[in-house]
Structures are given as structure tokens and as C-alpha cells.
Amino acid sequence: MTPHEPNDSVSPSTHLTDVGHLGSAVGHHVINAFTAIVSNVEMLRLRPAPLTIEELYGLIDDIVGTSVAASGVARRLIDYTRPLTTPDSCTVRLNEVVTIFAEARRATLPEGIHFHVELEAGPIHFPAQVNHLVNMIENLVINSIESRTSPEMVITLKTRIDHRGWYVLEVIDDGPGMTQDVLKHAIEPFYTTKPGRPGVGLSIANGIWRRHRGTMSIQSAVGVGTTIRLCVEPPRAGRPGSVVV
């Protein structure tokens, strides 16, 4: 087992705890790296006399070396958590996942929130992990609910096949929408306009979908609402996997 590979004999809860501690350690490491980079840049900016070529190259080498080392540690954290986030090899029927999610979630929706479901008639099957997809949709729905500024809101869950033949899942709300400034930062981890909220929902959803080899885009306008579009290329013919929910 290499240093960045999780031990399969360890329980999932123990491994998640390890990931939490490891994430904290990596966060401190990256913060320290950025502190060193900023210090070097400030030294360069505030130095009263011009640097010699040798001094300038030395600072550049320090900045580049620190940046590469920090990004390498972050990459190893991604590799370490990959077994927890990589989809299973089974094939999932997306329409069924959306239908079951909507039926179960309706019972817990806040008053004034309504679901509308539109499903593509054709088959939408691709390798995925059902629990991950449900978690992703839940985060997107919560994001819509928390944006509500009026008593009523309609959230539409829609599947379709686009002109390229790619599978598409859309989560559409008729809420207040986002300003262009908010939209630019919407997927950033911990970015939020809601006091007391962690600001990780869209980031988690985006991460889950990227693990499924998909792409996420957001269209939003103030007073119109928000559409989150998730696209994924259909699997190649003959790809293994058993059909589940």
C-alpha cells in the first residue's frame, strides 16, 4: 500500500475520520505555503533597492518550488479520497433515481415549495453510484430552497438528451436568481451569501458530478431564476455493469 492509498480493511467511518484529520493537515500546509509565497512577493515589492539577477532568480525559484509542493500535497489528498468518491461500475437509470428522489423528498419540502418532474422518454443509463447522485441532487435542491425570497417556488427536475446525444439533468427554480458577481463564485467551496451557511452545496454537487465524468454549468438572472445543467457523455457500447435503481 502506498502512502496515499487508503487501507481497505479500515471501516468507512474510520477512514472518513482520517480524511477529516488529513484535510485539516493539508489545509494548514497549503495556508503555510501561500504565506511563504506572499512573504516572498512582499519582500520583492517592498525592497528599497533593486534585486540582483541572482537574488531575483532565487526568489522566483522559492515561489515556484513552494507552489509546486503545495499543489502536489493537494493532489495527493484527492488521490487518497478517490476510493470514497469514485462511482461504482454499475449502470444507473437516471429517470428512476430522479423519480424516487422526488417522491421521497416531497414529503419533507417546506410549505410553498413544489416539485415538477419532466423525464426524457428515451433510456438514460450510465455508470454511477446511486447514493452519490442522490446526495448531489439533494445539495442542488437545498441550494434552490435556501435562495427563496417569496412564499412560493417551483423546482423542476428535468432529464433529456441534448443535440450531441449527451445525457442532461437540469435542476431549475423560479427563485430570485443570482447577480453576475455571485454567479462567478457560485461553485467555489465555502462561498455563500447566506449567513450561517457553510457554502459547500454547489461545490460538493460539482465534485460528485465531475467524478462521474460530467460537466456542470449554471445559468441565472435576477428575477428570473436559476438553471443548473449537468451533462454527461453516454458510456461506450459494451461497458460492463449491472443495472440498478
Question: Which of 58, 67, 156, 79 shows the shortest CA–CA distance to 114?
Answer: 156
Question: Hey, what's the cell of 122?
Answer: 428515451
- pLDDT of 11 higher than 60: no
Could you report the per-residue pLDDT of 56-73, keeping only the tens digit for each? Answer: 888 889 899 989 888 888
For the domain bounded by 91-244, which CATH number is listed? 3.30.565.10
d(CA 231, CA 227): 13
Please report, rounded to a whole number, the percentage of residues in the chain having pLDDT higher than 90.
Answer: 44
pTM given for the model? 0.73
- pLDDT of 28 higher than 70: yes
Please report the pLDDT score of residue 30 as a whole number.
Answer: 85
Going by pLDDT thresholds of 50, 70 and 90, the confidence category of residue 2 is: very low
93 phi/psi in degrees, rounded to 5? -90, 105
Please give the distance of CA 186 from its chain centroid, rounded to a whole number.
11
Please report the pLDDT score of residue 178 as a whole number.
Answer: 95
Going by pLDDT thresholds of 50, 70 and 90, the confidence category of residue 50 is: confident
Cβ pair 220, 177 in contact under 8 A: yes
The answer to which of 148-157, 179-188, 235-244 has the lowest mean pLDDT is 235-244
Q: Which residue has the higher pLDDT, 211 or 172?
A: 172
Please report the pLDDT score of residue 238 as a whole number.
Answer: 53
- pLDDT of 12 higher than 60: no
- pLDDT of 14 higher than 80: no
Judging by beta carbons within 10 Å of its beta carbon (0-12, 13-18, 19+), is residue 208 exposed, middle or buried?
A: buried
Provide the residue ranges of all domains of the chain, joining segments of one domain with +: 12-85, 91-244
- Mean model confidence pLDDT for the chain: 85
DSSP labels for the chain? Answer: --TTSPPTTS-HHHHHHHHHHHHHHHHHHHHHHHHHHHHHHHHHHH-SSPPPHHHHHHHHHHHHHHHHHHHHHHHHHHHHHHHHHSPPSSEEEHHHHHHHHHHHHGGGPPTTEEEEEE--SS--EEE--HHHHHHHHHHHHHHHHHH--SS-EEEEEEEEE-TTS-EEEEEEE-S----HHHHHHTTSTT--SSTT--S-HHHHHHHHHHHTTEEEEEEEETTTEEEEEEEEPPPPTT----EE-
Could you report the per-residue pLDDT of 167-210, keeping only the tens digit for each? Answer: 999 999 999 999 999 999 898 888 888 887 888 889 889 988 98
Please report, rounded to a whole number, the percentage of residues in the chain having pLDDT higher than 70.
Answer: 85
Cβ pair 41, 57 in contact under 8 A: no
Q: What is the mean pLDDT of residues 20-32?
A: 79
Q: What is the mean pLDDT of residues 24-30?
A: 81
